Amino acid sequence: MLDKDGIALLSKLCTMTEGEKFSVYDWTDVFGGEIDEERKNLWRTLLQQGCVSVKYSDDEEVCFAVTLKGRNINEELATMQVVEDENQTVVRTDATGRPVMVVKDETFFENMRKKLHSRSIGFVWGIVGGIIGGIVGGSIVALIMHFAIH
């Protein structure tokens, strides 16, 4: 699965090349700066996902094409809008640009807190339901026994 940077790079590569035609670019043009380990990993991910096909590469330049799969993925993700704010909110929009779903890029601890919170709510409501059920059930049994005896 591509992350935010992978999506951005794929989108850039799609605009840099036409169809499945191979083009030659300097690495600095591809990444908009010097190539580092993080960028190398990003490129490897695109290769592994089959989004990019490389015919030739050396330390300075690369001959590549965006595959049909890569273009399809890019088109699918074209409606995905990444909004940079303090919460790193990812907004999925429809063809008209109207937001249809908001997915928050939350940290691990935030996710855990939410999970625990939802579990504790479930636990409390389970106990409350049990008590109410017990009271109602007990009352019904008591009433039946009361009328049966008298």
Partner 1 sequence: MLSKKQKLLMKVIYSHAIKKEGVCLIRPIDLLKEIPLSSDFRRDELESNLKALVTEDFFEMITTDKKGEEYYCFTLHQNGYAFSRQIAAEKRAIVFKLILTVAGAILSFTLVRILTAIAG
**Which residues contact partner 1 (rule: CB under 8 A)?**
21-25, 55-56, 58, 61, 63
Helical packing angle, 37-48 and 4-16, nearest 10°: 70
Min dist CB 61 to partner 1, Å, is 7
Residue closer to partner 1 (CB basis): 21 or 98: 21
Q: Which helix (H) or strand (E) holds 114?
A: helix 108-149
Min dist CB 65 to partner 1, Å, is 9
Residue closer to partner 1 (CB basis): 32 or 97: 32
Residue closer to partner 1 (CB basis): 6 or 31: 31
Q: Which residues contact 65 (CB under 8 A, 6 or more apart)?
A: 17, 19, 20, 21, 22, 23, 52, 53, 55
Q: Which helix (H) or strand (E) holds 101?
A: strand 99-104
Min dist CB 95 to partner 1, Å, is 33
Residue closer to partner 1 (CB basis): 63 or 90: 63
Min dist CB 21 to partner 1, Å, is 7
